[in-house]
Structure formats: structure tokens, C-alpha cells
Structure 1
Amino acid sequence: MHPDRPDRPACRCVICHDYGDRDEADHMDRRTVEQVQEYGWSVVMVPADDEGPAFAYTIGLWHTHGSPELAMFGLDVRTMQTLLNALGDKAAAGTAPAADQEHHGVVEGAPVVLKNVDLRWYRTFFGCAIAFYRRPPFPVLEVVWPDTGGSFLWQPESDEQYRRSQPQLWLHPAAHPEGVWTALANS
């Protein structure tokens, strides 16, 4: 059993279990653990580079609140950090995010939709979370934001450039449209 949540199985994260390598943790690992202990979660920000657009994701929501981790793609990393923290605050207040759920008031003027991430994408995008939890499965929800017209990735009227800005991680990688996201998964 989880020490703080008897309704959940034991957590195997680096906070709940001593793997004997705490002294060897790098600065990023220690910083993540400190933030999870102090705030309940941390946000990892991966800036845009030659390989692809920016993305960000949480670590610690599952440990602290029994809530799925959250990931966003394609916006400025600081913007995504702010949005993920707003959703993290909702989880901390007892409104646990769930798949296919809309959240209003996160992105100005439009809802975001949460989608379950297929486990086959974890190693491509969530390496720091895997290091923290030591292994999947821990649930991750992709936070999908709409285009300027209010359409989502799966809607035919959504803008083509917008569709390339976010992956569809709820799809099996082989079923995902070819592009930068599948290139990252195959590298």
C-alpha cells in the first residue's frame, strides 16, 4: 500500500522507496524530488529545438494526489508550465483529471481536452518521469488545446499547421500520422 494513500498500491517512486542511489542523483533529479516534496509536483520543460516543438509534463501528481501526470505540447514552455500548474492545482484541490474530460478556464476562451497517453510513447517523451517512478505504468494524460477556431486535432475542420503542433499520443505510434512526433519516437 502507498504510505499516504491506503486506497492505492505502494508507490515505487524515488521518494517512497530507497533504491540506494540517492547520493548519485543528478541535479535535475534532486530538484524534481525537492519540488515534489515541497509543492506536490514538478513540471519538466523541454524547449523547442531542431528535433521538434516544445513540450512539458508533470512529475509527482500521481505520487502526491493519485492523479494522472499531465503533458502538453506545441506552446511556449513557460505557458505550458503555467497551464499544467493550473491543472495540477485542480488535482490538488480534489478535482482529479480524467480522460476525455474538458477543462474550462485553463486556456483563455477555450476548453482543453485530456486524453490517455498510450504507454508506447512513454520512453520517447517521459524519461524523467520513468526515472522518478522507476517504471511505468503511471498514468499520463495529454492536455490538448484547440486551434484559434476552437477545433481540436481530431476534428476535420482543424487547421493543418495546428495539427502538426501537437502529437496524438492516445494513438498507437504505428497509427499516428507521420511527422515530427513519429520521427522522435523512431529515433
Structure 2
Amino acid sequence: MFTALDAPPDRLDKHEQNFVEKVRNHGWFGTHVFPDGEGPGFAYTTGFWLKFRFPEMIVFSMGQQTAQDTFWTIYHELDAGRRPLVGEPTDALFENVAAVLLPVSLQHYRSHLGWSRWFYGNDEFECLQVAYPDPTGIFPGLRRHPLRPVPHSPT
């Protein structure tokens, strides 16, 4: 699979070089997008698909450090050969609440996964949303609305 890791460094700008170097050194990179007038903040991975053939991850409305820690937890699970189930609640990600991994539709890649799309050079990778329940324990409407932000953050 050809990725940005294969690009000659002199063809990349300094931000692209930094991105590629992080993936090369750590196996993945986390991109964090701050909230704005169009929606909540979110974070996503790049590199899980290449290293593990496991979908990239995206999470909404979560603090940057918590999101990064969550992605590291998933990375270490994958590195140990444990693959989380899609669509099934799991307590392996957070100490105080269950989470569920839900498939992300390709229609959302362009608006939410820019660096991953650049890295892979296409949309031929999978992505899962890390969803967690609201304060009442309900996973609000996520099965009907992939990439719907969750208002409560497990911290």
C-alpha cells in the first residue's frame, strides 16, 4: 500500500514532514480539531489502518488529552493482538463507562478525515467512531446518525 510514508521528503512541506515522521516513529498520529460554529471538536487517528489493518478512529466532544489517551489504549490493544468488536459495548477503553465502535460512512470522510485521506491518498481505508453514552447511559441515536457528536465526555 502506497502512503505518504513513501513520498520523497523534499516533496512534502514542513507540516506534512512532521505528520509523516510522527506516523513513522509512533505507528500513528492523532489529529485534533477544535470546535467551531459548524460543530463540536473531534479527534481522529491516522496509521491504524496501515499498521494493523484495523479502522482509523474518530471521537467527538472529548478533551484533547483524553482523546489521545483513548487512541493509545486502542493502539496498545491492537498491538497486543486484541481487536475490539464493532457495534458491541466494551469496557476496555474507559474506566468509568462503556464505549461502542460504530462504522463511519464514506460520505463523512471529506469533512472529517482530511489528514488520513491525504496520508493514504484516497478513501480506501475504514474508520470507526468511538461512541460513549450520555449521562443517563444511553448511546443517543448513533446507530441512525454516524458521526453524530455525543454531548457527554467520559473523563
* RMSD over aligned Cα atoms: 2.2
Structure 1 ranges of 4+ moved more than 3 A: none
What is the count of residue pairs matched by the alignment? Answer: 148
Q: Which residue of 2 aligns with 1:131?
A: 118
Q: 1:13 aligns with which of 3, 21, 32?
A: 3
* Gap regions ≥5 residues in structure 1: 1-10, 156-166, 171-175, 180-187
* Gap regions ≥5 residues in structure 2: 150-155
Offset at 1:94?
1.2
Which amino acid is the alignment partner of residue 14 of structure 1? Answer: A
Instruction: Give the Cα–Cα distance (whole angstroms) in 2 for the partners of residues 28 and 88 of structure 1.
Output: 23
> Bigger relative contact order, structure 1 or 2, given CA contacts below 8 A and separation 6+?
2
Identity within the alignment, % = 29
Q: Tell me which moved more, 61-70 or 45-54.
A: 45-54
Offset at 1:112?
0.6
Q: Which residue of 1 aligns with 2:55?
A: 68
Q: Which residue of 1 aligns with 2:37?
A: 50
Q: Which residue of 2 aligns with 1:146?
A: 133
Where do residues 21-100 of structure 1 align in structure 2 (5 Å cutoff)? 22-100=9-87
Offset at 1:12?
2.3
SS at match of 1:100: coil
Which of 1 and 2 has greater Rg? 1
Query: Normalising by the residue count of structure 2, what TM-score does the alignment of the two structures yield?
Result: 0.84
Instruction: Give the Cα–Cα distance (whole angstroms) in 1 for the partners of residues 141 and 14 of structure 2.
Output: 39
Q: Which residue of 2 aligns with 1:114?
A: 101
